[in-house]
């Protein structure tokens, strides 16, 4: 049963809620997921997100114009500058869209923990993320995702991760959902395999798009006998329908509450704060939705994250930054006043008995292209390295621009040569090497062509792209190759080692050129239907994509 709490208890006595007056990232109580709510692990009180998106000059799901980013948690001085202002608007969670897993985050995470601020982090970065129009789930993505998990898993003020953000924005992009759901599965599996804490969740953040209901059901459904291995742990909703002084009906907030009333996991606004139609400009947001979001919606929604802290070209910033100086805009004050006046009703874990169950998976139809099972196979970097080492014809060229024509030629010569790299989210047809990077995939099909042409010397050249080699089977490879099969269509077990480990240490990096340049994404998507292949190869750091279609 919900019970109202007074303002001082919620906002002015945050230390009493979390159970300590001076937190560190190692002692702060974890936030756990139970049913449709978040709870503090130490005393079972409910946790409602009062969040801010915290990333400067960032373009999610990278574009050719902006693939760089600044890690917002790598500079302790900047965190020290901003945290006092973040606390003025009662912040208890930040959302960051990209961190650099090679940098140290102890200073910022310690400061955040001391201020009772938690974190939800996106796993991708602008040039290494699941692309909407040419989706893949491959070694480079897996190593990026697991690298972020490795970097942040020790901090107990990390609630979890987003495996994707607005990857499906149009009706013709729903096939991409299969690759994000596979990323959810493998990220959750990786957390378990590394014995990281069980309270770390993995979710997805969706745009407010026509397919939003199918998306929600797809990511929360549990096909077959897999349980929740492929299901999201929480659902983020980027919502901008409440503009200015709107209301519960006009904004469609009521429809969203009704839809998610029986959802099995926590739902929250992963972004909110519309700037449209304001007479006094974008920095005059009244944030009147706050009263509703933390009022009659808390039975279903767990609060939200305001977009955003830093002012940029999109005009959504709450503050202006000039070196060490922070200057709040008028909507900063509006947000503070709105949050200061609310008194949400909450429950405790002891008094909450969740009964919601996983929804049915949406069926493939004209408006939905992704089957729920099978998903793209689990990415296994060791498998890719083992498979390439065991070939008699390998790719020597590092010129990604030359790959497309070779794929085109080989797959056109005989479609069976490319069975191992097939991707089709609508039929659920995936080759055993469909999770490898393009160079490794090309090596496999080149070898298939070479063997199919009786090992003729001219069959392993392709204008200097490939060359013959002595096949070898490294330690630990034999069982993987047996599971893969000689045609490359078998199912191989998920890896158990570190996602970014080198050969011989439990999880080798792919031999792809992408593995050597983690800032470059070269996703490959092969749709195999008759002789139809779409081949996408990343060409530059700016993610210029070449497509050759047969």
Catalytic residue numbers?
A: 166, 271
CB neighbour list of residue 443: distance below 8 Å, 6 or more residues apart: 388, 391, 393, 394, 395, 466, 511
Q: DSSP letters along 74-118, please?
A: S-HHHHHHHHHHHHHTT--EEEES---TTS--HHHHHHHHHTT-E
SS3 481: helix
Beta-strand relationship, 46-47 and 37-40? antiparallel
The Cα–Cα gap between 446 and 462 comes to 9
Beta-strand relationship, 301-306 and 49-53? parallel
Burial per residue of 477-514, b for 16 or more beta-carbon CB atoms within 10 angstroms, e otherwise: beebbeebeeebbbebeebebbbbbebeeebbbbbbbb
Q: Are 36 and 267 in contact (CB under 8 A)?
A: yes
Cis amide prior to 59 (ω within 30 degrees): no
What six digits make up the tokens of 71?
């890690």
Q: Are 508 and 385 in contact (CB under 8 A)?
A: yes
What six digits make up the tokens of 245?
């002084």
The Cα–Cα gap between 311 and 318 comes to 7
Lookup result for tokens 């330690």: 475
Q: CA quadruple 424, 490, 535, 501: dihedral positive or negative?
A: positive
3-state secondary structure 239-305: ECCCCCCCCCCCCCHHHHHHHHCCCCCCEEEEEECCCCCCCCCHHHCCCCHHHHHCCCCCCCEEEEE
- Residue whose C-alpha is closest to residue 417's, from 394, 449, 388: 449
CB neighbour list of residue 176: distance below 8 Å, 6 or more residues apart: 130, 131, 132, 133, 135, 167, 168, 370, 425
């Amino acid at each position: 049963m919900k019970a109202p709490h007074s303002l001082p208890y919620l906002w002015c006595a945050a230390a009493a809620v979390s159970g300590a007056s001076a937190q560190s990232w190692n002692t702060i109580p974890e936030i756990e997921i139970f049913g449709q709510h978040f709870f503090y692990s130490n005393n079972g009180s409910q946790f409602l997100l009062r969040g801010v998106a915290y990333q400067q000059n960032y373009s999610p799901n990278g574009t050719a114009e902006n693939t760089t980013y600044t890690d917002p948690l790598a500079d302790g001085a900047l965190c020290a500058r901003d945290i006092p202002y973040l606390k003025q608007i009662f912040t208890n969670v930040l959302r960051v869209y990209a961190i650099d897993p090679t940098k140290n985050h102890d200073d910022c995470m310690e400061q955040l923990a001391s201020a009772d601020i938690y974190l939800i982090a996106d796993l991708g970065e602008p040039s290494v993320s699941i692309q909407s129009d040419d989706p893949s789930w491959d070694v480079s993505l897996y190593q990026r995702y697991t690298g972020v998990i490795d970097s942040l898993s020790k901090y107990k003020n990390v609630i979890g991760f987003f495996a994707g953000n607005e990857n499906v924005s149009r009706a013709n992009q729903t096939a991409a959902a299969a690759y994000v759901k596979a990323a959810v599965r493998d990220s959750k599996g990786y957390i378990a395999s590394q014995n990281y804490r069980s309270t770390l969740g993995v979710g997805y953040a969706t745009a407010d798009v026509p397919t939003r209901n199918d998306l929600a059901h797809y990511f929360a459904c549990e096909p077959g006998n897999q349980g929740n291995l492929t299901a999201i742990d929480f659902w983020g909703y980027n919502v901008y329908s409440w503009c200015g002084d709107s209301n519960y009906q006009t904004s469609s907030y009521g429809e969203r509450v009704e839809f998610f009333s029986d959802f099995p996991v926590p739902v929250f606004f992963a972004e909110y704060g519309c700037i449209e139609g304001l007479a006094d400009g974008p920095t005059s947001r009244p944030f009147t939705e706050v009263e509703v979001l933390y009022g009659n919606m808390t039975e279903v929604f767990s609060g939200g994250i305001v977009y955003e802290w830093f002012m940029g070209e999109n005009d959504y910033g709450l503050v202006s930054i000039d070196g060490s100086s922070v200057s709040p805009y008028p909507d900063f004050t509006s947000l503070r006043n709105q949050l200061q006046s609310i008194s949400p009703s909450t429950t405790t874990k002891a008094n909450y008995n969740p009964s919601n169950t996983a929804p049915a998976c949406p069926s493939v139809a004209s408006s939905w292209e992704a089957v729920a099972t099978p998903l793209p196979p689990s990415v296994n970097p060791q498998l890719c390295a083992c498979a390439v080492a065991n070939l008699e014809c390998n790719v020597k060229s590092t010129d990604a621009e030359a790959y497309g024509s070779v794929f085109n030629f080989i797959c056109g010569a005989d479609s069976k040569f490319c069975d191992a790299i097939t991707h089709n989210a609508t039929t659920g047809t995936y080759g055993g090497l469909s999770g490898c990077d393009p160079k490794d995939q090309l090596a496999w099909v080149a070898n298939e062509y070479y063997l199919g042409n009786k090992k003729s010397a001219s069959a392993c050249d392709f204008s200097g792209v490939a060359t013959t080699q002595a096949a070898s089977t490294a330690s630990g490879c034999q069982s993987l190759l047996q599971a893969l099969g000689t045609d490359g269509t078998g199912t191989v077990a998920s890896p158990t080692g570190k996602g970014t480990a080198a050969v011989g240490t439990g999880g080798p990096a792919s031999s792809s050129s992408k593995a050597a340049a983690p800032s470059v994404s070269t996703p490959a998507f092969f749709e195999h239907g008759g002789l139809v292949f779409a081949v996408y190869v990343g060409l530059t750091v700016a993610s210029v994509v070449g497509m050759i279609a047969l």
